[in-house]
Structure 1
Amino acid sequence: MRIALIPDKFKGSLTAAEVCDAMEAGIRAVYPGAEIRRFAASDGGDGFLEAVRAVRPMEVVQVPVTDPIGREITASFLHDPKTGEAYIEMARASGMELLSPGERNPMRTDTRGTGELILKAVRLGARHIFVGLGGSGTNDGGCGLASVFGFRFLDSDQKALPPVGGSLERIAYVVPPEDLLLPRSVRITAVYDVNNPLWGPQGAAQVYAAQKGASPEDIQRLDAGLQNLEERVREQLGIDAGHLPGAGAAGGTAFGLKCFLGADFTSGTDLVLRLNGFAQYLDGPKTDYVFTGEGRIDTQTLNGKLIQGVLQLASAQKCPVVAVCGKCDAPMDALSRMGFEAVLEVSDPQKSLAYAMEHAHELVADSVQGFLSPKK
């Protein structure tokens, strides 16, 4: 029996490595001699740096930055002086987890801290900077990070606006710096975790802003603001990028990276699955099962997340994929049509969420064991 494990974390409960531990315990209970291979993975969101460090030895650089509401914190990124590569996880500087529930408000938060990480990497000599998107507490279209590089955003009276989500609908002028602090020789890659466009029904605000603390009225204003930002950028900078898959990642940060810093886009799942060797592994001897999963499988799972990328690669090799989750809020028929062999929802509807999180290890192990056990 040859089995690959490549889950995401169960947020607030188990790290990805701990999910692997639980999965392996369930497998060993049925197939003690199974050949099990683990893969560190991320879709480009929080956990991106750990996934990269698992396969690439790199320096960890600590730097003071501002968090989404302007407080000074210390964040880290990875740097390889030999290759000139740097890997940044925007959640470290602009993440929702940096804010208490009462502080979460994408009308007032910004991505300046992510811009400060990028600038530090540039000043260290990085020539190719990968910015992992996801887990953000922002919806500023990347204006905050652009302000670190000298961009200004003005209203109709040509007064400066703070680069926060609540300013987007008032932007009349996008003013580039006379001397951009980013050398032309530096390449930026926006590593997106979802493939949503910038605005509209599937855009950054309408799909993700509520979980960042936005009210229904805020969501409409943020969506209109992102549309306004796209129009001003198209008119004044000559760049049309809001429709691109992934432009809406991290509250439109991917859009901002492309339009203001000239970034190209890549799927975080695709990048990590190349780095960690999962694609090459599937090209080897037949794999009996791939186990993947995350804490909650929902409609976002269908928008370019890790699980979808794993499924696409494994399905191409006709390898069955089993997804394990704490809670499944996506239609089972849609998941079945995608090609999953099974989706194992481990939480007990008769028990509380607190119980499920506290007992996540044994619940995952028991579910995997039950799936693999011979059926009577």
Structure 2
Amino acid sequence: MKILISPDKFKDAATAADICIALEKGIKSTFPEAVCTLKPLADGGEGTLESISLALNAQWISCLTQDPFFNPIEAKYLLLPEKKMAVIETARASGIELIKPENRNCMLTSSIGTGILIRDAIEKGATEIVLTVGGTATNDAAIGIASALGVRYFDKDGESLLPIGQNLRYIHKIDDSELVFNRNKVSFIIATDVENPFYGQKGAAHVFSRQKGADEESVLLLDSGLKNYASVLEKHTQINPQNITGSGAGGGIGGGVAALFGAKIISAADWIIKLNDIEKHISESQILITGEGKIDSQTWEGKLISRLLNLASNYQVPVIAICGTLQDVEKIAQQPNVMYATSILKSPMTLEKAIVETLDLVEKQGILLGKLMKKLKSSHEVGS
């Protein structure tokens, strides 16, 4: 039996690659004749570079940069010298997982570290920057990124502003006269599966900032800041990020980079699926095993898993879905090619314990799935 194992990460617990390995180990222990193909995927957030590096002949580049609180760290990105392309994951230098939950505060965080990575890539010859946006600790609308690239921000009194979320509402003037690259020679692509607008009830602050440490007052201040910055951007560039689908991605990074540098926003899931030739692998498989940390209502809104299910449906390949938290069971039951869906949790436990034991729980689930698929194979052969 040919099995394609192609999950997303289990957020805060395990990478997609580690989930693949644990599942295969469990399956092989009870179904040794299974032929497993491992294709870990991502949606623009954490783990995206690992998925891309498996598909492309890319170099890992390590760079000294800054975390969301301006502390020095090292982070990596991918460089494809022959294509003059760099793929940079915002989560590497500006990610929420870099900060302990109790210390998260997107009023004070900056995307400057991601900008430093971009600058390094341009200095190394990259003329196309693909920025995968997801899992950020920031709500600064990319003013940190822009600052690292030579853009300066001033308030109405002409005072220079630190590029952090709480200062968005004070921006009065943008000065990009000292930009470190030629706009006509460097292009940007934003890869994300977020379609939220820049500001408003469905915008970056209202939808995402609470998980980044914002209280209710901060949410309103950040939203007000995004609205102010959108107005300033429109005056400076003739582009209002609020009119761009996905501009709220990464705490406004999508809109900020699109307005300032002309970035094109694309679907990260579609891009990564294409890079990894997933459609071909699905067509050649008898079962697809996929999953993510939480399967809920958002899973079906054009996200990575929903795209995989659509492809599997096209080739009539049955799907097994695994996750840490299983919600929206009614919707799952409506998916015509989902043969089985389950949480890896088999007993009540705290989130902390579940995170620590994730890979062991995934492997145990693989053991059970291996037995199930072996039985299915035997029954099919007998019936034939």
CA 1:338–1:127 in 2, change beyond 3 Å: closer, same or farther?
farther
Contact kept in structure 2, 1:30 and 1:372, CA below 8 Å: no
* Alignment TM-score, normalising by the size of structure 1: 0.90
1:145 aligns with 2:145: yes
Q: Distance in 1 between matches of 2:200 and 2:363?
A: 41
Corresponding position of 1:331: 328
Q: Please give the residue correspondences for 1:7-156 in structure 2 after superposition, counting only pairs within 5 Å.
A: 7-28=7-28, 31-156=31-156
Contact kept in structure 1, 2:197 and 2:242, CA below 8 Å: yes
Please give the per-residue CA displacement for 1:300-346, whole angstroms capped at 9, x wherever unaligned.
43454322332233233333333210112x42223444656143112
Letter in 1 for 2:180: L
1:368 aligns with 2:366: no
Unaligned runs of 5+ in 1: none
CA 1:203–1:302 in 2, change beyond 3 Å: closer, same or farther?
farther
Q: Distance in 2 between matches of 1:354 and 1:113?
A: 29
Q: How many matched pairs?
A: 372
* Alignment TM-score, normalising by the size of structure 2: 0.88
Q: Please give the residue correspondences for 1:286-301 in structure 2 after superposition, counting only pairs within 5 Å.
A: 287-301=285-299
Q: Distance in 2 between matches of 1:348 and 1:210?
A: 30
Contact kept in structure 2, 1:314 and 1:320, CA below 8 Å: yes
Letter in 1 for 2:331: A
CA 1:163–1:116 in 2, change beyond 3 Å: closer, same or farther?
same
Deviation at 1:158, TM superposition (A): 3.4
Q: Which stretch shifts more, 140-149 or 317-326?
A: 317-326
Corresponding position of 1:182: 181
Please give the per-residue CA displacement for 1:43-95, whole angstroms capped at 9, x wherever unaligned.
11111111122122322222211211111111111112222111111111111
Residue 304 of structure 2, aligned match among 300, 306, 309? 306
What percent of counterpart residues are identical? 35
CA 1:28–1:75 in 2, change beyond 3 Å: closer, same or farther?
closer
Please give the per-residue CA displacement for 1:193-214, whole angstroms capped at 9, x wherever unaligned.
4222222233222222111111
Q: SS state of the match for residue 188, structure 1? A: strand
CA 1:339–1:293 in 2, change beyond 3 Å: closer, same or farther?
same
Q: SS state of the match for residue 227, structure 1? A: helix
Corresponding position of 2:382: none
Deviation at 1:179, TM superposition (A): 4.5
Q: Distance in 1 between matches of 2:4 and 2:349?
A: 30
1 or 2, which has the higher helix percentage? 2
Q: SS state of the match for residue 310, structure 1? A: helix
Please give the per-residue CA displacement for 1:1-33, whole angstroms capped at 9, x wherever unaligned.
332111122234333233223333454466543
CA 1:339–1:232 in 2, change beyond 3 Å: closer, same or farther?
farther
Please give the per-residue CA displacement for 1:255-292, whole angstroms capped at 9, x wherever unaligned.
1111112211121111111111112323x44x332111
Q: Distance in 1 between matches of 2:278 and 2:264?
A: 24
Q: SS state of the match for residue 198, structure 1? A: coil
Contact kept in structure 2, 1:182 and 1:261, CA below 8 Å: no
Deviation at 1:244, TM superposition (A): 2.9
CA 1:102–1:203 in 2, change beyond 3 Å: closer, same or farther?
same
Q: SS state of the match for residue 55, structure 2? A: coil
Q: SS state of the match for residue 242, structure 1? A: helix
Q: Which stretch shifts more, 331-340 or 313-322?
A: 331-340
Contact kept in structure 1, 2:41 and 2:272, CA below 8 Å: yes
